[in-house]
């Protein structure tokens, strides 16, 4: 299990699986956040926080919410807003202990343009 937490510690997560890779994406939002995502099914991720400590950022086609700690501003995860259609979500591994991530490769996803992995 991999754990992460925002800077102030109010928002924590557990990733219950060990992913084969993480994803860095260059789309307009991921590029700005600088996130390294671990994608999983929502059943494989526990978000541990008070709901009122999160800010959801929702824009465009309103498919996803990017969730950040209201206090320290760290973006900890995104979730699908239509859980009936998709239970995919992702946690930002920049919130995790670097040493625990070393054996898992980071793949680069071209979310800005081709929507394919660049490696
Ligand atoms: Zn925080």
Residue 22 confidence (pLDDT) = 96
The pLDDT tens digits for 41-87 are 999 999 999 999 999 999 988 899 999 999 999 999 999 998 777 88
Look at the block and give the residue holding tokens 């994803």.
23
Rounded to two decimals, the pTM is: 0.93
Q: How far is the CA of 94 from the centre of ligand 1 (A)?
A: 13
Q: How far is the CA of 77 from the centre of ligand 1 (A)?
A: 12
Q: How far is the CA of 51 from the centre of ligand 1 (A)?
A: 12
């Amino acid at each position: 299990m991999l754990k992460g937490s925002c800077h102030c510690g109010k928002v924590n997560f557990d990733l219950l699986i060990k992913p084969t890779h993480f994803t860095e994406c260059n789309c307009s939002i991921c590029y700005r956040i600088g996130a390294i995502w671990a994608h999983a099914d929502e059943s494989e991720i526990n978000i541990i926080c008070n709901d009122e400590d999160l800010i959801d950022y929702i824009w465009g086609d309103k498919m996803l919410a990017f969730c950040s700690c209201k206090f320290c501003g760290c973006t900890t995860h995104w979730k699908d807003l239509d859980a009936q259609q998709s239970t995919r979500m992702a946690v930002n591994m920049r919130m995790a202990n670097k040493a625990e991530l070393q054996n898992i490769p980071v793949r680069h996803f071209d979310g800005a343009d081709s929507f394919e992995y660049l490696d």
